[in-house]
Chains A and B, each alone.
Chain A
């Protein structure tokens, strides 16, 4: 079984890795690039903890092969902040206690950022349905939904 050489861009950096074709993008991010922010909660696309953006599209990195990353532009939670300045969603999640154990947080932040880029003024229902693929077992979602909507409102005011 030969391995594939993959060149791709992650959080603005050009990176390379060798992967078995059975390895997922999530495996490659975590084990080959040491980007362990994306988590494997299920491996079946049901929990969203591995959410990343590929060519601007929100995906589960457990549902994409590493070999498919060739030539793509990938963003992970590690690329969310701008230098030492946190993304407004990151800041708001801390302020509003929108995380408890925090394992789902990277995926939810990546997904919520994708939502606000597409829809800067989401309703509660739109926010809940957009994030339906991101399981959180600790919070009951209440504070997460509030944090996302509050961030959206502040980002609208700021722009």
Chain B
């Protein structure tokens, strides 16, 4: 894409004004998923399997249907017939099977039936009246056990073409990549370390449970309000699952109370639509927290083997990794992404990575901030730390020595364009944190992290008003302040004040297709589209000014919010402000708008380096994080405060993942900790202030140099904390979470 509008000097971009939705959110009037109401609305509730794996022999809904408050009951029979296909090809089938079980319940919490009633209490009461006869089957929830020859098969025929012959049917996708000759590289090494690492599944833990309000008639026309990271994917998927036309379902995104990747698909929405169609009334469904944990999409769990060869001077001579990711009862675990990210920060001659996507009797995994990358970094960066310790080398220097830079052939194939890894490492080295003395009992860890970032399908529309204000419609739900960033970028191009721009998250009926708010793509892709749409409007503004002045359009340029003659030859006219042009636009050619629709491809990969200090109580194994610094390349920070917020949030989630968060399954295959009491996300008193350094190495693929910042921040923490804890405790921790019982067991030598 031609980037003739590249900019490096900014008026609005790089400032941190108040967010446009701030007042609504501090006064409680912002409307989230569960805050909607419709006349005649019913409340839905979903019956869920108590078994990890069971054949559904019979469902008797007659007693529930007879309940006086119940208006509809649905089971799988009430959905469209969607054909089964292997792997991710059959994604609609996979989603349907996940939102309402077919022949088998595949995990504890799998939906088997649903009711709509006149009150939420009645709906819940009615669930107890549904009789389901199950034939309990053997189950498996652990990734290594799920790959073993005797493991119960979750579903025959789910594997796609990539899987080598002879593997267990639970292995459904396979990835292998790399370059060079790793065996030759290991032979050159002065030190080779190979270790096994294990991580448990974690949940995104957004505070807002899934919620929706659906309305669908037998005319095939519907309305859906839901909390989602992407309402077009919700539209497309729900339409397919209900057997209606996509365009006939209008989906509006509510304010979203956190997603982190977990709200990129649908769970309750198709069910609410099916209930609504059957009852012919609007139906609202709000998940409980327990349902969120049991039946939405946590991360994969992983088992990984990493082998690295290093020379005495710190040069990595070869690197190899095997990454097995358990993704629940459906294909989709990011074994490929994990493998591809594992060694991405380094300039390696010999590298090989293998990834497995493995099914088990758990809920279908969903994305969680840089899906797959944190686990890989945990394994790889831990081994590098061990090697630095053993060879007596500085961990930042070793990473600098091996760091990828512009032109490096990435471990996953392509050559990097301009990237900022070295800059983050130099900033780490220079940061006072890195040289600050440690107290007894404390350890320091560092880690690098990589994420691809993503562009994706994007549509933006911008319309000018007569008074010179602008309304901007974007299609990527605003999770962390992106409306502010969009307004800043539009203001930068139009040259009008930030406050004069209103940004709306448009519904599916009022804007073209938009991919999900994921892949750290919003500020990059919707931002790029906003800039392009604003330029499109500026072109028209210049045309109108040219016509008014009676000069050719190419003799007019746009400067500081005004049309001006492009040079002295063009004529002598006073600058014409935007509002002067829009004031009579109705009579000078009609409304002035700008549009942009495309799939930007230049997202620009992202790197970060984290420094963390941890203190371990040797008598109890309890860890406290005493200092934390995030350094990450943002390309260009549009709204620096919210960029810092992304860095801090990623680090905090990483701290939770590293220390205490985990899915705990019992022998019976049921989730043991489906409330926040026992799924332990960090609370305010657990954390220190989180220091941030924004590095800006402009992304050549964005007019203002933006790189997405949402995901990379969760990649380094697991390893950085593991390194800090291992250095503090004097024993290497290779399993997450590093909960006190695990650390104490390791300290006592029986871990």
Complex A–B touching at CB under 8 A: yes
Please give the distance in Å from B619's CB to the nearest CB on chain A: 22
Q: List the interface of chain B (C-beta within 8 A of A).
A: 16, 18-19, 21-23, 25-32, 34-35, 37, 120-121, 204-209, 255-260, 286, 288-289, 479-481, 639, 641-642, 644-645, 648-649, 651-653, 675-677, 681-685, 687, 689-690
Q: Which residues of A contact B204 (CB under 8 A)?
A: 137
| Contact assessment for B652 and A77 in the assembled complex, using a CB-CB cutoff below 8 Å | no
Q: Which of B18, B32, B642, B685 contacts A103 (CB 8 A)?
A: B32
Q: Which of A37, A94, A131, A137 contacts B258 (CB 8 A)?
A: A137
| Contact assessment for B207 and A94 in the assembled complex, using a CB-CB cutoff below 8 Å | no
Q: Which of B23, B479, B641, B689 contacts A145 (CB 8 A)?
A: B689
Residue pairs across A and B with Cβ atoms less than 8 A apart, 13 shown, are A42-B289, A42-B675, A86-B23, A91-B26, A100-B649, A101-B206, A101-B256, A101-B258, A109-B26, A125-B685, A137-B207, A143-B648, A144-B684
Q: Mark A38-59, 1 if CB is under 8 A from B, else 0.
A: 1111111011010000000000
Asked if A157 is an interface residue, CB under 8 A from chain B, the answer is no
Once bound together, how far apart are the Cα atoms of A105 and B23, in whole Å? 11
**Interface size, A (range):** 35 or more
Q: In residues 99-130 of chain A, which contact B (Cβ within 8 Å)?
A: 99-106, 109, 124-125, 127-129
Please give the distance in Å from B712's CB to the nearest CB on chain A: 15
Q: Which residues of B contact A81 (CB under 8 A)?
A: 27
Q: Which residues of A contact B685 (CB under 8 A)?
A: 125, 128-129, 131-132
Once bound together, how far apart are the Cα atoms of A86 and B207, in whole Å? 25
Q: Which of B19, B286, B675 contacts A44 (CB 8 A)?
A: B675
Residue of B nearest to A35 (CB): B28
Secondary structure at the B interface, as helix, strand, loop or mixed, is loop
Please give the distance in Å from A77's CB to the nearest CB on chain B: 4
Q: Which residues of A contact B256 (CB under 8 A)?
A: 101
Q: Which residues of A contact B641 (CB under 8 A)?
A: 96-97, 143
| Contact assessment for A103 and B28 in the assembled complex, using a CB-CB cutoff below 8 Å | no
Residue of B nearest to A101 (CB): B258
| Contact assessment for B257 and A99 in the assembled complex, using a CB-CB cutoff below 8 Å | no
| Contact assessment for A139 and B649 in the assembled complex, using a CB-CB cutoff below 8 Å | yes
| Contact assessment for A99 and B26 in the assembled complex, using a CB-CB cutoff below 8 Å | yes
Instruction: Knowing A40-B34, A135-B207, A145-B689 are in contact, say whether A99-B25 is a contact too (CB < 8 A).
Output: yes
Q: Which residues of A contact B37 (CB under 8 A)?
A: 34
| Contact assessment for A22 and B676 in the assembled complex, using a CB-CB cutoff below 8 Å | no
Asked if A61 is an interface residue, CB under 8 A from chain B, the answer is no
Q: Which residues of B contact A136 (CB under 8 A)?
A: 207, 684
Asked if A80 is an interface residue, CB under 8 A from chain B, the answer is yes
Contacts beyond the supplied A94-B19, A140-B687: 19 A-B pairs with Cβ under 8 Å: A36-B35, A41-B208, A42-B675, A43-B289, A44-B677, A81-B27, A93-B22, A103-B32, A127-B684, A129-B685, A135-B207, A137-B653, A138-B480, A139-B649, A139-B652, A140-B648, A140-B682, A141-B652, A142-B648
| Contact assessment for B257 and A39 in the assembled complex, using a CB-CB cutoff below 8 Å | yes
| Contact assessment for A100 and B26 in the assembled complex, using a CB-CB cutoff below 8 Å | no
Residue of A nearest to B683 (CB): A132
| Contact assessment for A80 and B32 in the assembled complex, using a CB-CB cutoff below 8 Å | no
Once bound together, how far apart are the Cα atoms of A155 and B19, in whole Å? 23
Q: Which residues of B contact A47 (CB under 8 A)?
A: 207, 289, 676
| Contact assessment for B687 and A103 in the assembled complex, using a CB-CB cutoff below 8 Å | no
Once bound together, how far apart are the Cα atoms of A122 and B286, in whole Å? 37
Instruction: Knowing A105-B25, A136-B207 are in contact, say whether A23-B257 is a contact too (CB < 8 A).
Output: no
Please give the distance in Å from A149's CB to the nearest CB on chain B: 11
Instruction: Knowing A36-B35, A41-B209, A41-B289 are in contact, say whether A138-B258 is a contact too (CB < 8 A).
Output: yes
Once bound together, how far apart are the Cα atoms of A106 and B207, in whole Å? 12
Task: Output the residue of A100, A102, A104, A139 with the most chain B CB within 10 A.
Answer: A102
Which 7 pairs show the lowest CB-CB distances between chains A and B?
A37-B28, A103-B257, A140-B652, A102-B25, A94-B22, A140-B648, A46-B676
Asked if A20 is an interface residue, CB under 8 A from chain B, the answer is yes
| Contact assessment for A102 and B257 in the assembled complex, using a CB-CB cutoff below 8 Å | yes
Residue of A nearest to B687 (CB): A141
Q: Which residues of A contact B25 (CB under 8 A)?
A: 99, 102, 105
Asked if A14 is an interface residue, CB under 8 A from chain B, the answer is no
| Contact assessment for B481 and A140 in the assembled complex, using a CB-CB cutoff below 8 Å | no
Q: Which of B22, B28, B642, B687 contacts A106 (CB 8 A)?
A: B28
| Contact assessment for B480 and A43 in the assembled complex, using a CB-CB cutoff below 8 Å | no
Task: Output the residue of A22, A91, A135, A146 with the most chain B CB within 10 A.
Answer: A135
Residue of B nearest to A89 (CB): B26
Instruction: Knowing A101-B479, A101-B480 are in contact, say whether A142-B689 is a contact too (CB < 8 A).
Output: yes
Q: Which of A27, A99, A131 contacts B684 (CB 8 A)?
A: A131
Residue of A nearest to B480 (CB): A100
| Contact assessment for B649 and A140 in the assembled complex, using a CB-CB cutoff below 8 Å | yes
| Contact assessment for B32 and A39 in the assembled complex, using a CB-CB cutoff below 8 Å | yes
